[in-house]
Amino acid sequence: MTIKGFLSRRQLGCWLGAAAFSVSLAGPALAQDVIKIGAPLPLTGPLSPEGVKQQEGYNLWAETANAKGGIKVGGKAYKVELVYADYASNTPRAVQTAERLISEDKVNFLFSPFGSGAAKAASGVSEKYGIPTIAATASSEQVYDQGYKFLFGTFTPNQTLTEPLANLVVAKDSKIKRVAILARNDLFPLAIAQEMEKSAKSRNLDVVMFEKYAIGTMDHASAITQMRGAKPDWVFATGYINDLILIRKQMKDLGIKAPVVTMIAGPAYQEFIDAAGPQAENISSAAWWHPAVRYKGTDIFGTTEQFNALWKSKYKTDPDYAQASAAAAGAVLQLGIEKAGTLDPAKVRDALANLDVTTFYGKVKFGTTGQITSLEPPVFQIQGGKTMVIYPEVIKQADFKFGTN
């Protein structure tokens, strides 16, 4: 089924199952004048908050590209048509959906499913068909170490978040010695927890607890009670937004207090701040982008300020890193296509591999595995109900504060 015009969040929530639907954001166009891009997303299920964020980013990019005349290929302009498919937060279904988008819907290019786990699982599909694919939310190196040539990612490796966090905490207070880690047993959350363990141990910090929780866990009382007994100075919890809201609530209920509480990746989202309320205060985190960054891009959005203004005009909020990365995935794909001057997937793949450009999102250069190597992720802390950058110095908005409510 084809839906013309932009779909609201409420309308999108009505689309159940894994049925594909397309969104042409600039009105009808002849088939030969359209570039179809498939986007398997978790629009329902526990990961739906993250899936909707990606969709918002893709929509803004497509709408902006089409408003500016589409993607220019060899002297011809093509409209962008996004073909969405809901895989209901189920990774095996994400793989099936990616296959169907390519084999049945005949998309020209693909955006990866949400997160490192699903992106890795589906990457073999795009590789099999030779379809250039941009992963907007996959940071774990295990996604990119498979020797594949058609996958590109807009997140730097996980240690680019844990290393500056560890540097900052150790420099601020040498009395921070005991670290407790609680990680969702899923590819990205577990991988970044393992990087945090390495970052801590390399600075002679004691990892007094490292516990994993299953996907779908609805009660963390046992792990948090164990954490309380370990008496950590630094609590480091990983998962997705619904996980971390619950963990923070149960930490409060069970009387866990520590000078430093870090959570990745939920605190970057306003929804986390709203749900956690006073308990969000002083929680630290890191992400691959923040609206405080300032870049002068050659992409369709131009400067970071221009992107932020477009986003706020459309969605009435400030963008977060997941939304910006999705928009950047589209902008980067567009740059690759236009540089290639053709829709030939192998040539577009080569153009993407050789990109070395600045966008509103930051400097974009992919390493030999296809993972971006050129970003410096900001570290931030929730202060006064807002995410305030505390690193790097060039965009610093506040000093690091110890203690949580």
pLDDT in tens, 69-84: 999 998 899 999 999 9
What's the pTM?
0.89
What pLDDT does 25 receive? 53
- Residue 1: is its pLDDT beyond 60? no
- Average pLDDT (202-213) is 98
- Residue 31: is its pLDDT beyond 60? no
What pLDDT does 374 receive? 94
Cβ count near 92 (within 10 Å): 11
- Residue 23: is its pLDDT beyond 60? no
Concatenated DSSP letters of 131-157: --EEESS---GGGTTT--SSEEESS--
- Average pLDDT (29-57) is 89
Condensed to tens digits (0 to 9), the pLDDT of residues 258-270 reads 999 999 989 999 9
Q: The tokens of 302 are what?
A: 């131009």
Paired strand residues for 379: 286, 391
User: In whole angstroms, what separates CA 245 from the centre of its chain?
Assistant: 18
What pLDDT does 169 receive? 95
Tally: H helices and E strands in the chain: 12, 17
* Neighbouring C-alpha atoms within 13 Å toward the C-beta of 29: 22
- Average pLDDT (216-242) is 97
Read off the DSSP letter of residue 97: H
Question: What domains are defined for the chain?
Answer: 2-156+291-365 (3.40.50.2300), 159-287+378-395 (3.40.50.2300)
Please, which residues have CB within 8 angstroms of residue 181's CB and are 6 or more apart in sequence? Answer: 193, 196, 197, 207, 209, 210, 211, 236, 237, 238
Q: The tokens of 357 are what?
A: 């450009």
What pLDDT does 277 receive? 95
- Residue 151: is its pLDDT beyond 70? yes
**Per-position b or e across 9-34, b if 16+ CB within 10 A of its CB:** eeebeebeebebbbbbbbeebeeeeb
For residues 14 and 277, which has the higher predicted lDDT (pLDDT)?
A: 277
- Average pLDDT (391-400) is 95
- Average pLDDT (212-224) is 97
Please, which residues have CB within 8 angstroms of residue 309's CB and are 6 or more apart in sequence? Answer: none
- Residue 296: is its pLDDT beyond 60? yes
Band of residue 232 on the pLDDT scale cut at 50, 70, 90: very high
For residues 387 and 15, which has the higher predicted lDDT (pLDDT)?
A: 387
Read off the DSSP letter of residue 368: T
Spatial separation of the C-alpha atoms in residues 18 and 58, rounded to whole Å: 18
Q: Using alpha carbons, list the distances in angstroms from residue 53 to 236, 239, 295.
A: 24, 16, 22
Of 397, 405, 362, give the one whose Cα is nearest residue 381: 397
Spatial separation of the C-alpha atoms in residues 300 and 329, rounded to whole Å: 12
Spatial separation of the C-alpha atoms in residues 192 and 367, rounded to whole Å: 20
- Residue 367: is its pLDDT beyond 60? yes
Spatial separation of the C-alpha atoms in residues 200 and 167, rounded to whole Å: 9
- Cis peptide preceding 121, ω within 30 of 0: no
Spatial separation of the C-alpha atoms in residues 110 and 330, rounded to whole Å: 10
